[in-house]
Amino acid sequence: MQRKKTVISLEKLNIIRRILRRKGTINFPLYPGQLHILEFVKTYSGCTQSEVAQNLLITPASVALSTKRMEKSGLLKKQPDDKNLRCKRLFITKKGEQLSLHCRKVFDEIDNAMLEGFSEEELETFNNFIDRFLANLTKKYSLDVEDMDFFSLYAMSNKIKFNRKRKS
C-alpha cells in the first residue's frame, strides 16, 4: 500500500509543480514548449532550426512556427548563415534572455517554497532516494540516462509522444 501512495504522491507533486509553473508564467509571451526552445537557443547560440528539432525531438514545422512567433515577439533573431544563405542561425535577444531569466526565477521560487524547511541532510537523503528510483528504472528498462542532460531527457519524452501519435 505504501508503494502506491508513494507513486501517487510523486505524481501529485509533479502535477502541482507544473500547474504552479504555468500559473506563474501565464502572462509571459510564450506558448507551451517555447521556453525549452528559448533555453536551447540560449545554451547553443547560433544553432539552426533543424538542430533544435533534432535535439528536442520536435518536428521541424513546430520549430519553424515557434521560432517565427518568438522572432515576432522579439525573443529570438534569425541570421543567415555565412556559408549557406538558406540556413538561418538562431540567437536569443536581450528580451528573450530577460524572459528566460524571469521564467527561471519563477521556477526557482516555486522550488524554494517546495523545499522550505528541509535541512541539507534531509535533501541529501531524499536525493539518494531519487537516485535509487532512477537506478531501479534504468536497470529494469535498460535506459541510459546517467549522463543525459535536461534537453536529452526532454527529447526522449517527445520521441515517445511523437511515436505514440504516429501509431494512432
Give the pLDDT confidence of 45-62 residue by residue, as tens digits: 999 999 999 888 888 899
Number of other CB atoms surrounding residue 15 within 10 Å: 10
What is the dihedral angle through the alpha carbons of 26, 63, 166, 22, rounded to the nearest 10 degrees?
A: -10
pLDDT one digit per residue (tens) for the chain, 168 residues:
899 999 999 999 999 998 999 899 888 888 877 888 999 999 999 999 999 998 888 888 999 999 999 999 999 999 999 888 888 999 999 999 999 999 999 999 999 999 999 999 999 999 999 989 988 988 888 777 666 676 677 777 777 766 666 666
Give 54's Cβ-side CA count (13 Å radius): 5
C-alpha span between 145 and 121 (Å, rounded): 25
Q: So what's the pLDDT on residue 39?
A: 93
| CA 41 – CA 18 distance, rounded (Å) | 22
pLDDT (0 to 100) of residue 85: 83
> Which residues are CB-contacts of 29 (< 8 A; sequence separation ≥ 6)?
73, 75, 99
Rounded to an integer, what distance in angstroms lies between the CA atom of residue 56 and that of residue 149? 11
Give the pLDDT score at 164: 64
**Residue 24: is it exposed, middle or buried by C-beta count within 10 angstroms (0-12/13-18/19+)?**
middle
> According to the model, what pLDDT value does residue 57 have?
82
User: Cell for 54?
Assistant: 533534432
Residues 50-71 as b or e (16 or more Cβ within 10 Å = b): ebbbebbbbeeebbeebbeebb
Q: What angle do CA 38, 39, 41 make, to 5 degrees?
A: 65
